[in-house]
Amino acid sequence: MTALTKVLVLNGPNLGRLGSREPDVYGSTSYAGLVEACRKTGAELGFDVEVRETNDEGEIIRWIHEAADARTPVVINPGAFTHYSYGLKDAIAQRTAPLIEVHISNPYTREAFRHTSVVASVATGTIAGFGIGSYRLALRALADELAD
């Protein structure tokens, strides 16, 4: 029996409010539904997926350091940190495994400040605009990256 590859799915501020937070933008799936979808897709791909959410910038940076030290692949939705957290960018730049930036909505169809991602330049890639499906696509992209 082969061991499952551990993958962290990290979520930034306000993502724990999915389902009640602006459903016209973020859909009606709850955070629990997001966790379930990530774990199910991950299991199909041979991943042991751990999903985390925080409103604390320091905590998400510590999680990125943890992933870098353990060479753990990451899917990350930095939420609002996407647009201004150079501390998060610097942490992601230290990654030792693929890291996919993900967004539920398409930032380019929204307010101008959302058009800038300070973390995109240090991520393996970015997937956005497919609702909760963005996470499933990101996990599939990780599987492809790890297979190469």
Q: Is 115 a catalytic residue?
A: no
Catalytic residue among 65, 84, 86, 103: 103
Question: Was 104 annotated as part of a binding site?
Answer: yes
Answer yes or no: are the C-beta atoms of 26 and 105 closer than 8 Å. Answer: yes
What count of other Cβ atoms lies within 10 Å of the Cβ of residue 36?
14
Give the 3-state DSSP-derived string for 8-69, with helices as H, strands as E and coil as C.
EEEECCCHHHCCCCCHHHHCCCCHHHHHHHHHHHHHHCCEEEEEEECCCHHHHHHHHHHHHH
Question: Was 77 annotated as part of a binding site?
Answer: yes
Q: Is 26 a catalytic residue?
A: yes
Identify the bridge partners of residue 53 per DSSP, sorted by sequence position: 11
Catalytic residue among 26, 31, 65, 84: 26
Question: Was 90 annotated as part of a binding site?
Answer: yes
CA 136 to chain centroid: 10
Q: List Cβ neighbours of 148 (8 Å cut-off, separation of 6 or more).
A: none
Question: Was 106 annotated as part of a binding site?
Answer: no
The catalytic site residues sit at 26, 103
As annotated, the binding site for substrate includes 77, 83, 90, 104-105, 114
As annotated, the binding site includes 77, 83, 90, 104-105, 114
